[in-house]
Structure 1
Amino acid sequence: MKKWNAKNVMNTLPERKTDAHKGTYGTALIAAGSRFMPGAAVLSAIACMRSGVGKLEVGTEESVIPYIIQHLPETTFVPGFYERLESLSFDQYRVLAAGPGREADDETEQTVKTFLSTNLPVILDAGALSKRTYSKRKAPTILTPHPGEFLRISGCSKEELEENRQVTVTEFAKESGVTVVLKGKKTLTAFPDGEIYENTTGNSALSKGGTGDTLTGMITGMICCHEDWKHAILNAVYLHGASADEWIKKKSAHAMLAREINDLLPEVWKNFEKK
C-alpha cells in the first residue's frame, strides 16, 4: 500500500490557466439535499465551487433551493430535476455526484441508475450508497462510504473490516469495478485496478456530521480541474484532511464544523501550489 503525501500533492495539483474561462473547467451536477437535510446540499455545493469547477448545477427539491442560494448565489439549478430526470440530457456536464442529504429511496435510486447510464465520472455518497451490482463503465464510479456504510454495501463483517481494511477494501473495489474512498482515520482510496493509497492527513475534528458531504463536493470539483481523475480524488482527500490539520493548530478538534473546511481550503490549497 502506498501513502499519498505532501510531495505527491504538490506534483499533481493543476495550475490555473491564465487564459481560462468557466468552460475550461467544465460544469458539474450534484443531486443533493432534501426537505429535512438541506444543509448537506449547501456543504457539498460550496466545497465543489471551492475545488476548481467552472460551473455548478444542483439537482434538488424546490424547497432546498432557497437554502443554497442564501449561502452560494453562484450555484444554478436544474428545474424540476426529479420530475424530469429520465428525459434530461447530460451532455453539458463533466462529472455527476449524488447522495448528500438524500435518503436511500426510489427517487435517489433512480438518480443513481440514470447517472450510471452515462459515460461521465459518477460520485456516490450517503443516500446513494446501496448494495448493488455495478456494470462495467468507461468512466470511473467512485463510492465514498464511512465504515458503517461500507459494511452495508459490501456485505462483509465488522470483524473482517477491522482486521484487514486494506485487503477487504481492495478486493471489493476490484470485484465491483469501482473506486472506494473509505473514510476514517487514515482514509483509504482503493481503485478497481488494485492500486490502494493511504491518506496522510486528517484528525478527529473530521468526526462530525457534514464533513463527508464536503468531501463529496471537493472530489466533484477537483475532477473538473485535474487531467487525471485519480489524482483529483487523492488530492481532495488529502486537502480535506489538511484543512482539519490546519484547524487544530490553534483551535480545538471538538469545535470544528464541516463548513469551516470550506473556509480553510483556499489557504491550505495555496500552501501546496508550486511557487
Structure 2
Amino acid sequence: MPSRSEVITPALLRDWALPVPTGGKEARGTVLVVGGSRFTPGAVLLAGVAALRAGAGVLQLAAAESTAAALSIQVPEALVVGLPETADGAVQGDPGDLLGGLVAEADVVAVGPGLKDIDATRALLHVVLDAAGPETSLVLDAYALGALSHEPDLLVGSGRPVVLTPNLTEARHLLGRKPGDDLDADAVELARRYDAVVSLYGHIATPEGRAWREESGDAGLGTSGSGDVRAGLLAGLLSRGAEPAQAACWAAFAHAVSGQRLVPRYGRIGFLARELLDEIPYTVATV
C-alpha cells in the first residue's frame, strides 16, 4: 500500500509561513557552504548564491584553495576561504583549524556540493560535526551523503537539525538498494534510518513519519547543478529561521516553481541551473 503524504501547495505553505527576521544581516544568519574541488567550483557558487537568494544574511564559502580567488570574484558578497587540496584536486579531509572556526560560528552549514573523494569527504564531515554546535543546522548533499552511507549511525540520537538532500543515485547508496516506485515510503525509511529530515526528489519526510510531496517539478530541473541550487536554497531558508521540515517543503516548492517560471523563455528543457537563482526571491515572496 503506498505511503500517505500531503501535497505541498501554496495554501499549505501560506499556513506554514516562513519567519521574517527583522534587523540587520546577522538576524538572517550565516550560511557556510563546504564543498568544491579543483574541477567543480561551480557547485559551491550555485549553492551559495541560492542561499543568499533565499534570504541568508551572511554567506561564507570554503572550497579547494586553487578555486578560492575565482570564487571570491564571482561571488563578491561572500567570504571565501581556500582549503588544502589533495593531488587530485579534492578538498583534504583534515583541512586545519580554519574550517573548524568557520563552522563553529555559522548558523547553517551545507556540506557536499562539488566535493570529490569519498574518504576525504568522510573525514571532512567529521570535522564539521565536531566543530558545529548542537543547534547548528546542517544540509548534507552529494558526496556528504555517500560518506554518511558508510556511517549510518553518525547522526542517530544527536538531536541535530539536519536535512539530507539525496537524488535517486545517492538514495540508492543510503538505502542499500535501488529506490522503489513509492518514493514517499523511501523518504520515510531514510528519515527514520538516519534520524534526519529527508528531501528525496520532491518527497519530504521526518524521522517521526510525517511526509509531504511536491508535484510541480518538471523535466527541466534534471539538469547539471540543479541539486546544488536546491541544497543552497534549503540552507538559506534554514538560516532565516525555518525549521528543517518547513525549510525542506518550501525549498522543494520554490525550486520547482522557479523552474516553471523559466519555461516560457526556454521551454521545458534547456534552461540552466544558474538561471533558477534569479527566480527564487520572487517565487518565495509570492507563494
Q: Could you tell me the TM-score, scaled by structure 2's length?
A: 0.86
Please point out which of 208, 213, 236 is paired with 2:251.
Answer: 236
* Preserved contact between residue 218 and residue 260 of structure 2 (Cα < 8 Å): yes
Secondary structure of the residue aligned to 1:88 is helix
> Could you tell me how far apart the structure 1 residues matched to 2:235 and 2:186 are?
25
* Preserved contact between residue 66 and residue 82 of structure 2 (Cα < 8 Å): no
Runs of 4+ in 1 over 6 A off after TM superposition: none
* Corresponding position: 1:142 with 2:142: no
User: What is the Cα deviation at residue 145 of structure 1?
Assistant: 0.9
> Could you tell me how far apart the structure 2 residues matched to 1:250 and 1:61 are?
35
Deviates more, 1:211-220 or 1:227-236: 227-236
Matches within 5 A, 1:2-151: 2-14=6-18, 16-17=20-21, 19-78=22-81, 80=83, 83-85=95-97, 88-89=100-101, 90-117=103-130, 118=132, 119=134, 120-130=136-146, 131=149, 132-133=151-152, 134=154, 135-151=156-172
> Could you tell me how far apart the structure 2 residues matched to 1:175 and 1:193 are?
11
> Could you tell me how far apart the structure 1 residues matched to 2:171 and 2:104 are?
31
Q: Which runs of 5+ in 1 are unaligned?
A: none
> Could you tell me how far apart the structure 2 residues matched to 1:126 and 1:227 are?
22
* Preserved contact between residue 68 and residue 81 of structure 2 (Cα < 8 Å): no
Q: 1:113 to 1:128 in 2, by over 3 A?
A: same
* Corresponding position: 1:189 with 2:204: yes
* Preserved contact between residue 163 and residue 198 of structure 2 (Cα < 8 Å): yes
> Could you tell me how far apart the structure 2 residues matched to 1:93 and 1:195 are?
28
* Preserved contact between residue 99 and residue 126 of structure 1 (Cα < 8 Å): yes
User: What is the Cα deviation at residue 143 of structure 1?
Assistant: 1.2
Match of 2:90 in 1: none
> Could you tell me how far apart the structure 2 residues matched to 1:103 and 1:266 are?
30
What is the letter of the counterpart of residue 72 of structure 2?
Answer: I
Q: 1:4 to 1:85 in 2, by over 3 A?
A: farther
User: What is the Cα deviation at residue 269 of structure 1?
Assistant: 2.2
> Could you tell me how far apart the structure 2 residues matched to 1:13 and 1:137 are?
27
Match of 1:248 in 2: 263
Count of aligned pairs between the two proteins: 265
* Preserved contact between residue 104 and residue 129 of structure 1 (Cα < 8 Å): no
User: What is the Cα deviation at residue 40 of structure 1?
Assistant: 0.6
Deviates more, 1:65-74 or 1:32-41: 65-74
Deviates more, 1:171-180 or 1:213-222: 171-180
User: What is the Cα deviation at residue 232 of structure 1?
Assistant: 1.4
CA RMSD of aligned residues (A): 2.0
Deviates more, 1:87-96 or 1:117-126: 87-96
Identity %: 25
What is the letter of the counterpart of residue 97 of structure 1?
Answer: A
> Could you tell me how far apart the structure 1 residues matched to 2:191 and 2:13 are?
23
Secondary structure of the residue aligned to 1:189 is strand
User: What is the Cα deviation at residue 85 of structure 1?
Assistant: 4.7
Match of 2:241 in 1: 226
* Preserved contact between residue 112 and residue 143 of structure 2 (Cα < 8 Å): yes
Q: 1:33 to 1:88 in 2, by over 3 A?
A: same
